[in-house]
A and B are shown apart, each in its own frame.
Chain A
Amino acid sequence: MLRLTGNSSERVFLNDMMNKSGQRLLECLQCGKCTGSCPVASPETGGPRQLIAQILAGMKDHALTNPMWWYCVSCGSCVTRCPVDINVYELATALCETAAREGITPSEREIHLFEDLFLKSVRKYGRVKELRTVALFNLMTMNPLKDMDKGIALMKKGAIGPLEIFRAGKKDDKVERIFKRVESTREGE
């Protein structure tokens, strides 16, 4: 069992997460309203309460590989009901950025892949190309025929055009520049 000694080194990760996320984690009462409200809390993901407990206990490796924050859809239920206003989706950003910087393999490979492909599409075209992103995701997860029935149903109704998967559309250089500049300022930190 983990016992904290009160040594200041135990607080390095906690302080880092509080600074990056802007969340006052030390005020967490461990009341569990967040986990009770969370649509993605489960025995597999645990829930926000457990994630915060890990950070409070300085369990950096556990927190950075916790699937919970990958699952987080930023629904905002936790922060709406939290008695001390802790916003878990803002905490998720701090954990995701830290895990990426430290080269930790994403614990939820498929969620990471989707989010990555989405942003690549935004970077290139300025606007996300939904159908191309879906098709690429299904290809890369070795499941190219997934949801094909729904795609065909929508095409029959004229809701989507089959060409949209192949048609690239125009690029938006301004958005690509924003991505590049965010990357370069980050390296300069």
Chain B
Amino acid sequence: MKATYYPGCSLEGTARPYDLSTRQVCSALGVDLQEAPDWSCCGSSPALKMNRVLSVALSAHNIAQIERRQVGDVVVPCPFCFRRLASAQQEMKADPQLKQRVETAIETTVQGELSVHSLLGYIRNEVGLATIRENVKKPLKGLRLIPYYGCYQVRPPKVTRFDDPENPSSLDEILDALGAVVLDWDFKAECCGAALALAKTEKVTELCGRLIREAAYRGADALVVVCPLCQANLDMRQDDVRAHHGTKYSLPILYFTELMGLSFGISPSALGMDHHIHDPLILLKNKGLT
């Protein structure tokens, strides 16, 4: 299967393990990822907040570039990029005047008919659980994982058209297929504070604190994410949570692709698993998984 891969800015920066593990896992699953030509930022939350035409134009610029030499479906690991690319297509379709303004800004026409998937959606629905199971060489036996979807992967459902926005299950099913113990909880799609990380750090600490505390209470060995921003916030704010709640937490925050790769027999360092603040390697060693 061939697919166009739009990594997004975070995967070149703090979320490098997500990029490394995505490439490894897709290759193992027989998905040939072709990086989108000359891709640029989707504008993320700042463009979305500050300037609607700019926000749609930055996504449309990428869509137009992909359209010119399209290779299969478009796969996007970062849920915010995924939502912006998908939304830009819908917004232009619903509003021809907006489309015209955007085309003027990007100096080209855009069809806006690409099939855009989040990486999670693509792996769960296009690749499928059967293929995943076939590739598992080292089942994650005894590893207690708590799946966390965050916001942008599932909401708003009119844009994401993916899973249940209140109680999603795709990630649960994938982790189950890897042989892990999948824990249930009520905070699957709660917010981590997202891009307030810099300007309103205390808000992010409060929101991440709730998630970490609950995950620890449920007895999780690690919390599993699909979003670079969730990963950064939950990994980086645990020490600040301790300052607020007095309890010391050290919960590894892992991308689902890292765990897929691990169960496929790929070495943790090739997946970037040695790059996290809260080290998962000790845990994996204790569980006999490395």
What residues of chain A have their CB less than 8 Å away from a CB belonging to chain B?
22, 39-40, 69, 71-77, 79-80, 87, 89, 92-94, 96-97, 100, 108, 110-111, 113-116, 118-119, 122, 126-131, 134, 137-138, 146-147, 149-150, 153-154, 157-160, 164, 172, 174-175, 177-179, 181-182, 185-186
Give which listed residue, B17, B45, B47, B95, contacts A73 with CB less than 8 A: B45
**What is the chain B residue whose CB lies nearest that of A70?**
B49
What residues of chain B have their CB less than 8 Å away from a CB belonging to chain A?
9-10, 12-14, 16-17, 38-41, 43-55, 57-58, 61, 95, 101, 104-107, 151-152, 155-159, 165-166, 190-191, 193-196, 198-201, 203, 207, 236, 239, 272, 274-277
**Contact A178–B58 (Cβ < 8 Å):** yes
* Measured CA separation A138–B151 after assembly (Å): 27
**Contact A130–B276 (Cβ < 8 Å):** no
**B-side contacts of A22, CB under 8 Å:** 95
**B-side contacts of A181, CB under 8 Å:** 104-107
Given A111-B200, A130-B13, A147-B236, decide whether A93 and B107 contact each other with a Cβ distance below 8 A: no
What are 25 sample pairs from A and B whose C-beta atoms fall under 8 A apart? A22-B95, A75-B152, A75-B191, A76-B156, A79-B158, A93-B50, A93-B52, A97-B51, A114-B46, A122-B46, A126-B40, A128-B44, A129-B9, A137-B199, A154-B14, A157-B277, A159-B275, A160-B13, A174-B38, A175-B61, A177-B107, A182-B57, A182-B105, A185-B53, A185-B105
Give which listed residue, A127, A138, A153, A158, contacts B277 with CB less than 8 A: A153
Residue from the set B41, B48, B49, B201 with the largest chain A CB neighbour count within 10 Å: B49
Q: Give chain A nearest CB distance to B242 CB in angstroms.
A: 13
**Contact A76–B152 (Cβ < 8 Å):** yes
Given A160-B13, A178-B105, decide whether A39 and B193 contact each other with a Cβ distance below 8 A: yes
Q: Give chain B nearest CB distance to A91 CB in angstroms.
A: 11
**What is the chain A residue whose CB lies nearest that of B61?**
A178
* Measured CA separation A160–B196 after assembly (Å): 21
Q: Give chain A nearest CB distance to B206 CB in angstroms.
A: 9
Main secondary structure of the interface of A (DSSP, over half): helix
**B-side contacts of A154, CB under 8 Å:** 14, 275, 277
Q: Which 10 A-B pairs have the closest CB atoms?
A: A76-B155, A115-B46, A159-B275, A39-B191, A75-B151, A130-B13, A110-B199, A73-B194, A126-B40, A76-B156
